Amino acid sequence: MKKPIKTNVVPLSEKAYQTIRALILDNEFRAGDQILEKVLVEKLNISRTPIREACVQLEKEGLINIRPRRGIFIKPISGADMNEIYDIMTALEAQAAKTLAEKVANKTITEQEIKQLELPTLRMEKALEKDNLKEWAEADEEFHLCLLDLCGNVRLKQVVLQFWGQAHRVRYFTLALRDKPTDSTDDHKAVVAAIRLGDAKKAGEIHSLHRQKGKNNLLNIIEKYRFDNL
């Protein structure tokens, strides 16, 4: 008897989730927008049930509110929201950096895996040389995601990713308003160096300070331009 051929068909609910999420993160669906379910069905060419399933997940991530019979409402994010989000991400990502350094000290991680952290940092440098902030931001996020992956704590990663979309949306909205982020790239290098040495305390401290600086920079932009909700 022949075994059934496995196919990599993406469920419609996942396709809907990824598409709507991208529209929100790229600010095509902007804060305060009300999008009718009918509009989503027509725009995505996907039926109502998978779209509803996707919206439940997006609501859990804090990106939308589902409004019965009125579709979805794109949630605005305030400076106070970002302050809380960054506090959570700072604490958990610093722990991820410490865990990764401990893995190096205990020789439970390979050199090849550690090199995965260096590649995004190199891309960040090249992007800054071209003054391409979008490429820089993409490489920056890749670094942080790689850190979460390599630490091996699945639950820690899940909690951070719960807030990732909200932080991404605001960071990209304010990207052109920030100073050239050379310090951020240098911070990543310093974190990798501490991880390579197996110095958990130093790796955690550097990464915590890095995220705190990012938060302060973002909140200053929000205050300067009086972005009450993004």
- Residue 49: give its domain's CATH number: 1.10.10.10
Q: Which of 74, 89, 107 is the last residue of a domain?
A: 74
Per-residue pLDDT, averaged over 45-63, amounts to 95
> Helices marked H in the chain — which ranges?
12-25, 37-44, 48-60, 79-105, 111-129, 133-151, 154-173, 182-196, 200-224
CATH number where 83 lies: 1.20.120.530
Across the chain, mean pLDDT equals 93
In this prediction, residue 207 has a pLDDT band, given cuts at 50, 70 and 90, of: very high
Domain count across the chain = 2
Assess whether 69 and 83 both reside in one domain: no
Assess whether 131 and 195 both reside in one domain: yes
Contacts of 151 (CB under 8 A, 6+ apart): 95, 96, 97, 99, 100, 103, 157
> Is 4 part of a structural domain of the chain?
no
Burial grade of 45 (CB within 10 A; 0-12, 13-18, 19 or more) = exposed
The gap from C-alpha 110 to its chain's centroid, in whole angstroms, comes to: 25
Host domain of residue 21: 12-74
Assess whether 59 and 25 both reside in one domain: yes
> Is 206 part of a structural domain of the chain?
yes
pLDDT digits (tens, 9 = 90+) for 57-109: 999 999 999 998 889 999 999 999 999 999 999 999 999 999 999 999 999 99
> Is 116 part of a structural domain of the chain?
yes
C-alpha–C-alpha distance, residues 172 and 208, integer Å: 21
Assess whether 120 and 143 both reside in one domain: yes
C-alpha–C-alpha distance, residues 174 and 133, integer Å: 11
In this prediction, residue 1 has a pLDDT band, given cuts at 50, 70 and 90, of: very low
C-alpha–C-alpha distance, residues 26 and 21, integer Å: 8
Assess whether 51 and 108 both reside in one domain: no
Pick from 1-10, 165-174, 209-218 the range whose average pLDDT is largest: 209-218
C-alpha–C-alpha distance, residues 162 and 174, integer Å: 21
Assess whether 55 and 158 both reside in one domain: no
Assess whether 54 and 111 both reside in one domain: no
Assess whether 133 and 20 both reside in one domain: no
Assess whether 164 and 64 both reside in one domain: no
Q: Distance from first CA to last CA of the chain, Å, rounded?
A: 57
Assess whether 105 and 27 both reside in one domain: no
Q: Which of 74, 104, 128 is the last residue of a domain?
A: 74
Assess whether 116 and 186 both reside in one domain: yes
Assess whether 199 and 85 both reside in one domain: yes
In this prediction, residue 8 has a pLDDT band, given cuts at 50, 70 and 90, of: low
